[in-house]
Copies of this chain bind each other. A is one copy, B any other.
Amino acid sequence: MDGYYAFMLVATAFVLMMTVPALALFYGGMSRSKSVLNMMMMSYVAAAIVGILYVAVGWSMGFGGDGTFFANPFELLWLDGVTTDTYIGVMFQMTFAIITAALISGAVADRLKFSAWVVFVPLWSLIVYFPMAHMVFSCTEDSLICGRIGAQDYAGGTAVHINAGIAALVLVLLLGKRIGWPREQMRPHNLTLTMLGAGLLWMGWYGFNVGSIVFAGEEGEAFTERFMSETGRTFANTTLATMAAILGWLLVERLIHKKATSLGAASGIVAGLVAITPAAGAVNLSGAVAIGLVAGGVCAWAVGLKYKLGYDDSLDVVGVHLVGGVVGTVLIGVFSTAEGAGGVDGLLYGGGFGSLADQTLGVVVAVVYSGILTAVIAVAIKYTMGLRLDEEDEVNGIDLVAHGESAYDLHSGTSGGGSSVLAASTAPATTTSKTEGASA
C-alpha cells in the first residue's frame, strides 16, 4: 500500500516535470530563437494558473460527484472536506490539467499575444478540460465518455491529447498564419533542447501512464498483486510503443525525405507516448508495438498536411497529439485484450466491432465538445482583447516585445574571452536611471 503511495509521490512530480521544464524545452527548441522564451513561458504560466484553478474548482468539477459533463463545482471547492492523505490524488490529476493546456501552446508560436494566452488558459481549463476530465477519468455512471459510452482511455488519449490537439487546430484557424509562412523557413533554433525535452517527457510519461492505475478496492496481497501486474503491463507497453514509434517515424521520414532526422526521433517519441496513453492498460506487448509503429508512421506523414491544407500549426500539435491520440484511442478497439485493464477483447481478439465503435464514438465526442467550446472561447477573446500580435512586433520577435528579453547572448563564449559588447552595448545613463526607477 505505502509502496504504491510512494510511487504516486514520484509519479506526480514526474508529470509536473513533463510541463516544467520538459514540454517547454521540447517546444522551445523548435521555436525560433526570437520566440523561445515566450514558448517556454506559455507552459510555465499555464502550470501556475491551471494548478491553482484546479485546486479551486477543477477537482470538484471532475470528481465532486456524478454528472454527464461535469460534477458539482462547489462540492469540494478549494478541496473543502478532502483529507490531506488523499491530496496526492488531487495533485496527480492537477498535473494532467496543466500539461493539457500547455500542449496547445505549440500551435500558436510567434504570434499569440501573451495576454491572450493568460486569459485563454483558465477559461479553456474551466470550460473544456475540467469537464472532459470528468467525462473520461471520473468514470461515474453518468460520465459521458467513460460511464455512458464506455470508451476505454487509460491515461488520457481523449481527455488530454485529442482534446489539446483539436483545440490547437481551432485556435490556429482563428489566429491565422505567421508572417512569411510557409514561404519563409521557420526551422527549429536549437534541436538539442528538443531532444532533451523529448527525453525528459519520456521519463515523466511513466508517471503519467503507470501512475494512472485505478484500484477496485483490493487490499493486502491482492492490492500488491494488482499493483505489480498492471503497472508491469503499462510500463512495458509505454516503453515498447515509444520505441516502435521512433522507428516508425524515422522509416517514413527516410522514405519521404531520404533523411532520418533527430527532430523525427524526438517527435516519434512523443507520438508513440501519445498513442499508447489511452491503450497502455488495454493491450499486450504486440499491440503496443503495433500502435507505436502506426502512430509514428502516420504522424510523420500527418505533420506535412498543414502545408497542403494551409493551417500554420507551428510545432505540430495537431499532427502529433490529435492524430496520435486518435490512432491510439481507436486502435484499442482492434488490439484490446480481455486480460487488459478494460477486460474487453478488441476486433483482433474476436471481440467484434463493439469496442471499436465505442472508441470511435468517444473520439467523436471529445472532438466535437472540445472543438466547439474552444472556438467559442477563442472567438470571444479575438473580438474583445484580440488574439494576435501587431505585425511589427511579430517581426521583431515576441520575446523582446512581450517579455523584454532575448534568450541568448553567447558572443563572449564563441569569441573566447571577449565580452559580448555588441549585443550588450547600453546607454549607461539610462540604465542607471531606469534602474533607480526599477528598484523604487
Contact = CB atoms under 8 A, between A and B. Distances in A.
Interface string A184-196: 1101111111011
Nearest to A301: B439
Given A233-B84, A417-B406, A184 B9 contact: no
A431 B87 contact: no
A384 interface: no
Nearest to A210: B9
A16 B239 contact: yes
A195 B83 CA distance: 34
A404 to B, nearest CB: 4
B21 A424 contact: no
Given A3-B4, A4-B2, A232 B86 contact: yes
A134 B91 CA distance: 33
A230 interface: yes
B304 A439 contact: yes
A195 B285 CA distance: 36
A405 B5 CA distance: 44
Given A40-B195, A426-B185, A2 B190 contact: no
A365 interface: no
A2 B40 contact: no
Interface string A82-100: 0111111011001000000
A269 to B, nearest CB: 8
B44 A246 contact: yes
Interface in A9-49: 9-10, 12-14, 16-17, 20-22, 24-25, 28, 32-34, 36-38, 40-41, 44-45, 47-49
A265 interface: yes
A4 to B, nearest CB: 6
A353 interface: no
A382 interface: no
Interface string A65-96: 00000000000001100011111101100100
Contacts of A404: 257-259, 261
B189 A231 contact: no
A263 B412 contact: no
A402 interface: yes
Interface in A152-193: 182-185, 187-193
Contacts of A399: 262, 413
A256 to B, nearest CB: 6
A322 interface: no
Interface stretch (A221-229, A344-352, A368-376): A221-229
17 contacts: A2-B224, A24-B195, A25-B195, A28-B192, A28-B195, A37-B262, A44-B265, A44-B266, A52-B243, A84-B229, A87-B235, A183-B432, A191-B407, A192-B407, A261-B405, A262-B405, A408-B413
Given A4-B6, A185-B425, 7 more contacts: A1-B3, A45-B246, A55-B285, A182-B431, A184-B424, A397-B417, A406-B416
Interface of A: 1-7, 9-10, 12-14, 16-17, 20-22, 24-25, 28, 32-34, 36-38, 40-41, 44-45, 47-49, 51-52, 55, 78-79, 83-88, 90-91, 94, 114, 182-185, 187-193, 195-196, 198-200, 202-203, 206, 210, 223-225, 227-233, 235-236, 239-240, 242-244, 246-247, 250, 256-263, 265-266, 269, 285-286, 289, 301, 304-308, 395-397, 399-400, 402-420, 423-426, 428, 431-432, 435-439
Top 4 A-B residue pairs of the complex, sorted by shortest distance between their CB atoms: A21-B199, A304-B439, A2-B3, A33-B413
